[in-house]
Structure 1
Amino acid sequence: MNWREKWPEALRAWGRFTKVHDPDYCVSTSDAKAAGLTGSFAMFRLNDRTVVLDMQSVAELGLGDMPVEVMAHEIGHHVLCPADLADNARLLSRVRRGVPGFEQAAPLVANLYADMLINDRLQRSRGLRMAELYERITAPRPTPLWTFYMRAYEILWSLESGTLTRGEVTEELEGHAQLCARLVRVYATDWLRGAGGFAALCFHYLATGPDGTDALSGIRRRVCVGVVGDDTHIPGLTAADDEAVVHPALDPQVNEFAPQDAPADEPHAPATSTGQFREPFEYGQLLRQLGLNISDETAAARYYRERAAPHLVRFPMRTKPLSAEPLPEGHSAWDIGEPLEAVDWLATATRSPVVIPGVTTVQAVLGTTEGTEKSRQPVDLDLYVDSSGSMPDPRRRVSYLTLAGAILALSALRVGARVQVTLWSGAKQFLVTDGFVRDDDAIMNVLTGYFGGGTAFPLHMLRRTYLEQERTQPTHIVVISDTGVDTMVRQDDEFGRPGGEISARALAAAGAGGTLVLNVQNSWESTVREILPGWAVHSVSQWRDLVEFAAAFSRAQYERSTA
């Protein structure tokens, strides 16, 4: 059967105006693998909205005469669930909360849920042979999870028990399948709200094997929402999902016998996130389960960049007189070999009606004068972030030092300033950008690093930046730390030069001041002012207050200042 000819019919199953790229018909399984299809005989690639088909696997499964059913199902992932990358991320997040301890199975569970929504719509409303398709591909020795899933289909489509199921249907499994079928109908048009309940039903069957391995071993060639590119940006994932996960047995909309005052949270629902945002490690896990092959460092950089975005503010700007206004100072001879556009033709014609290059031709001589208009000059940022053992690892837990640093650095880049970032801990433990740069990736790579060692401020960086070379661009120095900031004064550099002298001279040479942002007690703040005179000191009582400081830094301290 020619599947290409059936593509328009598959599109019409979802409406006359449905538009999707033509499918990628992969002749062999190896070709399909190269296209990103590894877990199924077909998939919908969300990043470029393309159906990918493994025609070799289709033939092996005996589905060659069901092109409309297979392709219409994949189109359903674009039209109905999950529709796009952002909704797919929300679906996966909700499912992860419903299967605590078995988060590695969340992509499969989310896919099973999306498949059931799509298949029920196609079977009942479009008259496609979805039941026959599953009858052909059902496993001869299914796991309890697959038996539960197939039994729910039988209930949805009023099929006799045994039509799709091959395993034992216990009384408990029958009850779960009834709840599942009811849930799919109730939340058909609000599917995200039902995702947690579906995951809670699957949780029982995932828990039957160690780490869910046995429960998933028989379910193959089922995942049909494809991988996405590693550089794909999916915004909004740092925010935590606060929607309660309710087991369908306790959901009055699904179970009419459920108590109306049933607790909202499922007893096994995890409390993995605190506050309104996910932890960085959760964010990284979610991205990887969405199909992005990224490192912890890259995931952390994306996490803090997204969280910093709402707080970005204008960085300090200084004004100076504009000194480039042209001032005519007369004329000089123009000779052959000089730029032709430099010839002042009016002055040349006035001098002689006969134009002789190099003889009668002249050019204007221009000087400059200080103008009355003002130009704005961005102040560079020199940022030092403490990464000692008292600080959290920004790749695992939220580090407000890293977040505040990201807000300050990205704000500076926004207005054209250059930024140098130094991450520091103990002696010889430091990571720094290649001088003052405008590369936000390089800056975030430094900010999301971690040492977790002792505490020794990198005096050599202050010395190299301000004492061993002349710093012509106005620069503001910001140090984010706690009581460890005293090592700026109470230690010497590797050449025996006192830290207090280096800090004071660096502050003077920077030209735009310096700020110490410290998590210290009020009594300690006065000590800092004594040992580091001239520095502005901003103390916070808890690390999360750094975000407010960073957001207000430019507005409160610098935007009103002029050179």
Structure 2
Amino acid sequence: MSAEERITSLAARAFPRARARYSPYLLLGEPVVDPEGETFARIDLTSRTIRLGARPITEAALEDALEALIAHEIGHHVAFPGSPVEHARLLLLERTFLPRLPRSLTGPFYDLLVDERLGQGLPSIEDDLCRILAARGARSPDDVLFTFQRVVMEELWQRREGELLGTTAAAFERAFPDHRLDAKLVAQNLFAFAPDVTLQYLYFASIAWRYALASPAPKHTGGGDCAEGELSAEDLAAALVPKKGEKAAIERAIREGFFPKDLAEKLADQSLERRAGAMPGDGAGKSELLTTAMAAHYRREAEKYLFRPPPARVWADALVPTTHLEWEPGDPVADIDWVATLLRRGETLGAAMPLLRERIADEEGQSTPSFLGRTEIYLDVSGSMPDPKRALNAMTLAAQILATGTIRAGGAARALVYSMGHEKAWDFCRSERVLSKFLMRYIGGGTHFPFDILAASVEETRDEQPIRVVITDSDFDTNYDAARQNAAIFARAAERSPAFVLLLHAPSREKVRRYEQAGARVVAVRALGDFPRVAAELAFSLFDDPGTTNPSG
């Protein structure tokens, strides 16, 4: 029997016992044995897949410790961190105030919490957990942080000093003469802060970050953390804004002096801008992740204000059904009349020989109103507002609310961002992700509204004019006056559009009257922070009957 087959057989028997330490009803697949795996065990927090390395387990003679190995990995899924989002929260917190570390503190922190919980279970697997820690240490002798983690476990479980460190004990003692005192403090105080995981992490970080700073980056996958999985943009977006409990933990850590003054000042700043700058990764990969994560964040923020905007009226032929015909391969599947097919031919014959019914205009040229929500957004991204990838831009969020609301209503939207130049996503789109990512574009500089694009849009859309919304500030007044033809273009757009709306920041009454006389609807936004709320209430400014709208959030 090969090592892979033997480990697979043993894991099949150990897995139910390991799962029962949490719940026998836990929905989790059996471990996958990797014959060439470099680590004893890992769990992917995204797919919830546990992988066992047959070769390292065999080399370390840990076949009889599989229950402890698997139970440890399940602990990462069940509790610490429990989900990619919770992991993202601690990771962003760490990167906002600590120096860049060769490896994150989160992995050893999760390991401590999981092993402490497992050590209390019956029958005891503490000895097996100790063997696993010692075996991992032998594979990563230079990992200072993991060595400190093992010292903490010695103190927590009252094991003999140096039992889990092996041959590295003497060298570690010389390099860090106070490590035993630090470990005693962690073992004594860390678990007293439960169940506040953020506060526990901050206490652990206040002592352990110096050991992490002295650790080299893991040279192979056998070192480092056993909870893995790429953090998605959605995970990071959900973690960008700290929760109330996180803020309370941070305040307490600062108040009780966990960190020196310089680190405490950085820790206190958990602004969106700072947490966005703490995204993991480097170079182009980080830039792409930041853009995608911030786009997801704006979608989440838009949910708070989301509404279904009244659709714009367009015209279509009045259709009546024709007589039934035989459907043949190549005919549109959408034209099959399934109700008539089942009634006339039954389930068996109908599936093989469906009936087709087309719809044609009752009278050629006769039209009747139908509804299709379409919104065309012009967003000012000049230098007066922050880059939406770095901080919350209220104007960008307003545009996101309008686009998302249109799409949720079954319609489509397109957008243009402008400053001295412009960029546009000019195909009407029904994808929230595509539009939200486009709205992360930022130009900066001065403001020049593209009246030529507006004029071309009016001519292009002909009888299917969309709702048009311009989100800007008082610089629009200067653009309007810059050329004589701009007033005519503006009036033409206001005349042809089902609704032409200006969301203007702090406009003068004189300018408001001018735009309204030209046919536009003007919504004055007194404070920049009011843009999202005003966007959510846009339906009330577009239509006389507020009952046609349904703001939410």
Same fold by TM-score greater than 0.5: yes
Distance in structure 1 (CA, Å) of the matches to 2:14 and 2:461: 72
| 2:449 counterpart of 1:457 | yes
Q: Which residue of 2 aligns with 1:240?
A: 242
Shift of residue 506 of structure 1?
A: 1.8
Cα separation, partners in 2 of 1:453 and 1:41, compared to 1, 3 Å: farther
| 3-state SS, counterpart of residue 422 of structure 1 | strand
Shift of residue 483 of structure 1?
A: 2.5
Shift of residue 550 of structure 1?
A: 0.9
Distance in structure 2 (CA, Å) of the matches to 1:193 and 1:375: 60
Shift of residue 153 of structure 1?
A: 0.7
**Most deviating of 379-388 and 136-145:** 136-145
Cα separation, partners in 2 of 1:222 and 1:420, compared to 1, 3 Å: closer
Letter of the 1:473 partner, please give it: E
Query: Which runs of structure 2 are paired with 1:508-523 in the superposition (5 Å)?
Result: 508-510=495-497, 512-520=498-506
Letter of the 1:203 partner, please give it: W
| 3-state SS, counterpart of residue 389 of structure 2 | coil
How far does the alpha carbon of each residue in 1:505-548 deviate from its partner, in whole angstroms, 9 at most, with x for none? Answer: 122122x232222223x5x3533543674322223343221011
| 3-state SS, counterpart of residue 295 of structure 1 | helix
Distance in structure 2 (CA, Å) of the matches to 1:117 and 1:217: 23
Q: Retained in 1: the 8 A contact 2:309–2:409?
A: yes
Q: Which residue of 1 aligns with 2:74?
A: 75
Shift of residue 304 of structure 1?
A: 1.0
Larger Rg, first or second structure (1 or 2): 1
Q: Which residue of 1 aligns with 2:201?
A: 195
| 2:14 counterpart of 1:9 | yes
Letter of the 2:112 partner, please give it: M
Q: 2:225 aligns with which of 223, 226, 245?
A: 223
Distance in structure 2 (CA, Å) of the matches to 1:309 and 1:92: 25
| 2:286 counterpart of 1:282 | no
| 2:480 counterpart of 1:489 | yes
Distance in structure 2 (CA, Å) of the matches to 1:247 and 1:305: 27
Q: Retained in 2: the 8 A contact 1:488–1:500?
A: no
Q: Retained in 1: the 8 A contact 2:501–2:521?
A: yes
Q: Which residue of 2 aligns with 1:22?
A: 30
Query: Which runs of structure 2 are paired with 1:413-428 in the superposition (5 Å)?
Result: 413-426=407-420
| 3-state SS, counterpart of residue 477 of structure 1 | strand
Q: Retained in 2: the 8 A contact 1:245–1:264?
A: no
RMSD over equivalenced CA pairs, Å: 4.1
Cα separation, partners in 2 of 1:542 and 1:215, compared to 1, 3 Å: farther
**Most deviating of 381-390 and 140-149:** 140-149
| 3-state SS, counterpart of residue 454 of structure 2 | helix
How far does the alpha carbon of each residue in 1:354-400 deviate from its partner, in whole angstroms, 9 at most, with x for none? Answer: xxxxxxxxxxx9946999xx976244211111122222111112111
| 2:424 counterpart of 1:398 | no
Query: Which runs of structure 2 are paired with 1:43-58 in the superposition (5 Å)?
Result: 43-58=42-57
| 2:261 counterpart of 1:271 | no
Shift of residue 66 of structure 1?
A: 3.3
Q: 1:471 aligns with which of 428, 439, 462?
A: 462
| 3-state SS, counterpart of residue 534 of structure 2 | helix
Letter of the 2:47 partner, please give it: D
Cα separation, partners in 2 of 1:501 and 1:104, compared to 1, 3 Å: farther
| 2:551 counterpart of 1:558 | no
Distance in structure 2 (CA, Å) of the matches to 1:396 and 1:173: 39
| 3-state SS, counterpart of residue 423 of structure 2 | strand
Shift of residue 115 of structure 1?
A: 0.8
Distance in structure 2 (CA, Å) of the matches to 1:300 and 1:162: 47
Cα separation, partners in 2 of 1:325 and 1:307, compared to 1, 3 Å: same
Matched length: 488
Q: Retained in 2: the 8 A contact 1:11–1:19?
A: no
Distance in structure 2 (CA, Å) of the matches to 1:392 and 1:490: 26
How far does the alpha carbon of each residue in 1:80-130 deviate from its partner, in whole angstroms, 9 at most, with x for none? Answer: 322233333344345556xx133656x731111111122223334242211
Shift of residue 229 of structure 1?
A: 7.2
| 2:98 counterpart of 1:101 | yes
Q: Which residue of 1 aligns with 2:179?
A: 173
Q: Retained in 1: the 8 A contact 2:218–2:224?
A: no
Q: Which residue of 2 aligns with 1:154?
A: 154
| 2:122 counterpart of 1:123 | no
Q: Which residue of 1 aligns with 2:511?
A: 527
Shift of residue 158 of structure 1?
A: 0.5
Letter of the 2:45 partner, please give it: L
**Most deviating of 171-180 and 544-553:** 171-180
Distance in structure 1 (CA, Å) of the matches to 2:307 and 2:370: 16
Cα separation, partners in 2 of 1:172 and 1:191, compared to 1, 3 Å: same
| 2:511 counterpart of 1:506 | no
Shift of residue 320 of structure 1?
A: 8.8
Cα separation, partners in 2 of 1:459 and 1:60, compared to 1, 3 Å: farther
Q: Structure 1 unaligned segments of length 5 or more: list them.
A: 33-39, 207-211, 252-258, 343-364
Bigger helix share: 2
Q: Retained in 2: the 8 A contact 1:486–1:528?
A: no
Shift of residue 60 of structure 1?
A: 5.2
Q: 1:182 aligns with which of 182, 185, 188?
A: 188
**Most deviating of 62-71 and 48-57:** 62-71
Q: Which residue of 2 aligns with 1:545?
A: 530
Cα separation, partners in 2 of 1:76 and 1:186, compared to 1, 3 Å: same
Q: Retained in 2: the 8 A contact 1:317–1:376?
A: no
| 3-state SS, counterpart of residue 528 of structure 2 | coil
Distance in structure 1 (CA, Å) of the matches to 2:248 and 2:66: 37
Shift of residue 319 of structure 1?
A: 6.8
How far does the alpha carbon of each residue in 1:337-368 deviate from its partner, in whole angstroms, 9 at most, with x for none? Answer: 9x9x99xxxxxxxxxxxxxxxxxxxxxx9946
Query: Which runs of structure 2 are paired with 1:131-150 in the superposition (5 Å)?
Result: 131-138=130-137, 142=142, 144-150=144-150
Letter of the 2:305 partner, please give it: H
Shift of residue 178 of structure 1?
A: 1.8
TM-score by length of 1: 0.74
Shift of residue 74 of structure 1?
A: 1.2
Distance in structure 1 (CA, Å) of the matches to 2:156 and 2:533: 52
Q: Retained in 2: the 8 A contact 1:10–1:71?
A: yes
| 3-state SS, counterpart of residue 75 of structure 1 | helix
Query: Which runs of structure 2 are paired with 1:335-374 in the superposition (5 Å)?
Result: 367=362
Q: Retained in 2: the 8 A contact 1:11–1:18?
A: no
Shift of residue 283 of structure 1?
A: 4.4
Q: Which residue of 2 aligns with 1:353?
A: none
TM-score by length of 2: 0.76
How far does the alpha carbon of each residue in 1:173-214 deviate from its partner, in whole angstroms, 9 at most, with x for none? Answer: 3332122112443356554542222222223434xxxxx3x3
Distance in structure 2 (CA, Å) of the matches to 1:443 and 1:163: 57
| 3-state SS, counterpart of residue 108 of structure 1 | coil
Shift of residue 401 of structure 1?
A: 1.3
Q: Retained in 2: the 8 A contact 1:529–1:535?
A: no
Q: 1:304 aligns with which of 274, 298, 303?
A: 298
Distance in structure 2 (CA, Å) of the matches to 1:559 and 1:536: 12
Distance in structure 2 (CA, Å) of the matches to 1:470 and 1:49: 49
Distance in structure 1 (CA, Å) of the matches to 2:370 and 2:280: 40
Q: Retained in 2: the 8 A contact 1:247–1:266?
A: no
| 3-state SS, counterpart of residue 416 of structure 2 | strand
Letter of the 1:501 partner, please give it: A
Q: Which residue of 1 aligns with 2:432?
A: 440
Letter of the 2:531 partner, please give it: L
Distance in structure 2 (CA, Å) of the matches to 1:3 and 1:305: 46
Shift of residue 447 of structure 1?
A: 0.9
How far does the alpha carbon of each residue in 1:47-87 deviate from its partner, in whole angstroms, 9 at most, with x for none? Answer: 22110223334445554553333222212212332223333
State the percentage of identical aligned residues: 24
Q: Retained in 2: the 8 A contact 1:379–1:474?
A: no
Q: Which residue of 1 aligns with 2:211?
A: 205
| 3-state SS, counterpart of residue 239 of structure 1 | coil
